[in-house]
Structure 1
């Protein structure tokens, strides 16, 4: 994917109405809204949370969507690993960060994630995002 303003606008749309946009017109973070799609985006970027800052409680929220009995949840190498109860026995499972609901939840909560084949590092090198300091 190319680093174009059209592609940047499409990426920004993933974070619509979230207070993650930094603009040249305001020193504060503002919501991504429709007006940004009609204005020059050269100087703007999204200030997002790195995945490393996700809390255990947030991981549990994601996993509970998939498996209500999940426990011992942890993030490991691009996936969320967990234990759960199956019938009357313990089992374990994993969810890829790139799974649909997981990605949607992460984006809706201001986390930086891959997009359309672009890694977080690619998005940073394009100047589309900056990661918040922990």
Structure 2
């Protein structure tokens, strides 16, 4: 994916309504109807790195897939968890790139890969800056 203003606007739209847009080093403002090329040319999104996700947030994601999820942890691009199946215990895994998981992360201000671009690519393009932990 090329580093163009059109692609940048498409990426920004993934965070619609969130106060993560920074323009000219001013306060964060919501992403919305301000996605004109002129406005976003020198703007970026200030997003949370995945490393800052809390245990409680991981549990919320896992419990969407399996309501009895517990012992939830993040490991190498997957959310691993245990759950109750009938009267037995079982284990499960969710890929971070899975639809609901990815949507949840974006809707909560986390930086995620997009259209083949890694988070590192997005930082290098200047489209995002990661918040400090």
Shift >4 Å, 4+ stretches? none
Q: Report how far residue 38 of structure 1 moved.
A: 5.4
**Cα distance in 1, alignment partners of residues 80 and 99 from structure 2:** 16
**Map of 1:105 onto structure 2:** 104
Runs of 5+ unmatched residues, structure 1:
none
SS in 2 for 1:36: coil
**Map of 2:9 onto structure 1:** 9
TM-score by length of 2: 0.97
- Which stretch shows the higher mean deviation, 39-48 or 51-60? 39-48
**Map of 2:71 onto structure 1:** 72
Q: Report how far residue 37 of structure 1 moved.
A: 2.8
**Map of 2:91 onto structure 1:** 92
**Cα distance in 1, alignment partners of residues 126 and 38 from structure 2:** 17
- Kept in 1, the 8 Å contact 2:5–2:37? The answer is no
Runs of 5+ unmatched residues, structure 2:
none
**Cα distance in 1, alignment partners of residues 68 and 39 from structure 2:** 47
**Cα distance in 2, alignment partners of residues 17 and 87 from structure 1:** 41
How many residues end up aligned between the 2 structures?
Answer: 133
- Partner deviation per Cα, 1:45-85 (whole Å, 9 max, x = no partner): 00000000000000000010000010000000000000001
The reply to whether residue 131 of structure 1 matches residue 124 of structure 2 is no
SS in 2 for 1:39: helix
SS in 2 for 1:20: strand
TM-score by length of 1: 0.96
**Cα distance in 2, alignment partners of residues 20 and 107 from structure 1:** 11
- Kept in 1, the 8 Å contact 2:69–2:82? The answer is yes
The reply to whether residue 49 of structure 1 matches residue 48 of structure 2 is yes
